[in-house]
Amino acid sequence: MESATFVRGSVGRGSSAASELRRFRQRPRPLPDLRRWRRRSTAAIRAEPDLRVRVNGLEMPNPFVIGSGPPGTNYTVMKRAFDEGWGAVIAKTVSLDASKVINVTPRYARLRAGSNGTAKGQIIGWENIELISDRPLETMLNEFRQLKREYPDRILIASIMEEYNKAAWQELIERVEETGVDALEINFSCPHGMPERKMGAAVGQDCHLLEEVCGWINEKATVPVWAKMTPNITDITQPARVALKAGCEGVSAINTIMSVMGIDLNTLRPEPSVEGYSTPGGYSAKAVHPIALGKVMQIAKMMKAEFDGEQSLSAIGGVETGGDSAEFILLGANTVQVCTGVMMHGYGLVKKLCAELQDFMRKHNFSSIEDFRGVSLQYFTTHTDLVKRQQEAIRQRKAVRKGLQSDKDWTGDGFVKETESMVSN
C-alpha cells in the first residue's frame, strides 16, 4: 500500500531516482503512538490540543520553524532556538565561498505605524539589505554537526544557495548533507545583492533556470528539499509548480518583498543609508502578512488541484501571534516560519505562539493541526461566483415576508419590536 502510493506520486511528478528514494523513506505513517497516547492520557491531557506535525517524514513538536536569517546565523542562537522549543530551525543561507559575501552596516530600516518616520509607534515593516551568511562554510558545517550531535531528535534544516553551476550546487549539497541535517531549503528568493551574481531571486524568477537547477539539486539530494519562493513575481504558482514537478518535496513562501523603506526628508538620502547611498532591499514583518497570505493561498490552491497531497507547504511572512499562524494553517500550510518576529521579540516568542495556537484550537474543538489545515481554502472563489452568491442571498431574503405572518404570532415580550418590524418609516 505504502509503496503503491510512492510509485504513483513519484511517477506523476517525473522526479529523479534520488527524490524517489527520499519519498520512499518519508512515506506517510501515523504520528507515533498517537492513538495509544490518547487512550492512556488523563482527561486533562486529552483536552490539550496536539501541536505535533509530521511533514515530509520529519517530526516536529510544533509547526513553528525559525525562518532563515539572523535567528539561525550560528551555533549559539540555533541552540537557543531548540532550547526555547521551536519545532525546527532553518539556518542562515550558506554557499561554498563565503569570502564573496560582504555585508554592510546599517543594513536594516524599520517602518512604524502612524508615526511618519518618528521613533514612536509600533514596528509594522522591516527592510533589510543583508546578504546570505558571510561565515566560512566549514565553520557553519561544524556547527550543524555539533547541533545534530546535541539535538539528534530535533529538526535542523540547512538553507543553501549557489551560482548557476551544477558542480557547485552538487558539491554544496554533498558537504551540507554530510553534517546530518534533516532537510534542505533552497533559497531561490533573496531579492537583493545575490541576483547581481545570478543567484537567489534571479533563479526563482526564471522558470527555465529554476527547472534546470531543481533538476541538479534533486538528482543529488537524499533528504527532503523545500524550494523557497520569491513574491517578487507576477504569478507565484508558476515557479512553485516547476519546483514541485522537478521533484522538490515542498515549497516555502514567502521570502522578502523588494522595497525601498523611505527617503530621509532632511538629507534627501534613502534608508537604510550606507555612506549616503542605498540599494533596494527585502521587506518583512507584520506589513507583509496579508501579501504572504495571498501568495500562500494561491500556492495551496494550485497544490491541491495539481498534486497528490504528499508535498508540503511552509508559510512565512509577518507572523507574531498564534492567530497569524492559524491563518496560514487554515490556508493549507504544514509549518509556519518566523524570522523578523524573532528579531523583534526574541526566541521565547515560540511559547506565546504555541499557547495562542492552542487557545484557537480549543475554541474550535480542534485536537490536531490536521483537523483544521486547509479548511478555509474552500471559501475562496472567483469574483463572478461572489456576485452570483450575493444575488441568490438577496433573492432568498426578499422571499421571506417582512413582519408577523399572522396575528397569532404577537408576543407580550417582543411587542414593541414586532410593531417596529411592520413600520415603513
Ligand X SMILES: Cc1cc2nc3c(=O)[nH]c(=O)nc-3n(C[C@H](O)[C@H](O)[C@H](O)COP(=O)(O)O)c2cc1C
Q: Considering the rule CB under 6 A, would residue 285 count as an interface residue with ligand X?
A: yes
Q: Is 190 a catalytic residue?
A: yes
**End-to-end CA gap in the chain:** 69
Amino acid found at 35? R
Cell 474550535 -> residue? 364
**Least distance (Å) between residue 195 CB and ligand X:** 13
Q: Three-state SS for 325?
A: helix
Work out which of 339, 350, 353, 369 binds ligand X, going by CB under 6 A: 339
Measured between alpha carbons, how far is residue 177 from residues 182, 226, 286, 306 in Å? 8, 14, 34, 30
Give the one residue of 109, 333, 338, 354 binding ligand X; rule: CB under 6 A: 338
Question: Among the candidate windows 123-131, 167-175, 307-315, 393-401, which touches ligand X by CB under 6 A?
Answer: 123-131
User: Is the N-terminal amide bond of 106 cis, ω within 30° of 0?
Assistant: yes
> 163: how many CB neighbours lie within 10 A of its CB?
16
Residue 130 makes contact with ligand X by CB under 6 A: yes
Cβ of residue 65: shortest distance to ligand X, in angstroms? 10
User: Shortest distance, CB of residue 159 to ligand X, whole angstroms?
Assistant: 5
Cβ 212 to ligand X shortest distance, Å: 20
Beta carbons of 278 and 312 less than 8 angstroms apart? no
Parallel, antiparallel or unpaired: strands 225-228 and 64-66? unpaired
CA distance 18 to 60: 24
Quick one: 22 or 228, whose CB is closer to ligand X?
228
Best CA proximity match to 89, nearest among 319, 298, 335:
335
Please list, in sequence order, all residues whose beta carbon lies within 8 angstroms of the beta carbon of residue 186, skipping any fewer than 6 positions away. 159, 160, 161, 213, 214, 217, 225, 226, 227, 228, 248
List binders of ligand X among 224-283 (CB under 6 A).
228, 255-256
**CB of 9: closest distance to ligand X in angstroms?**
26
Task: For ligand X, give the closer residue by CB, 228 or 373.
Answer: 228
Residue 128 makes contact with ligand X by CB under 6 A: yes
Q: Which stretch binds ligand X (CB under 6 A): 203-211, 311-319, 325-333, 399-407?
A: 311-319
- Selected from 13, 22, 92, 241, the binder of ligand X by CB under 6 A is 92
68 binds ligand X (CB under 6 A): yes
State which residue, 189 or 311, has the beta carbon closest to ligand X.
189
Residues lying near ligand X in the complex (CB under 6 A) are found at: 67-70, 92-93, 126, 128, 130, 132, 159, 187, 190, 228, 255-256, 284-285, 288, 316-319, 338-341
Catalytic residues: 190
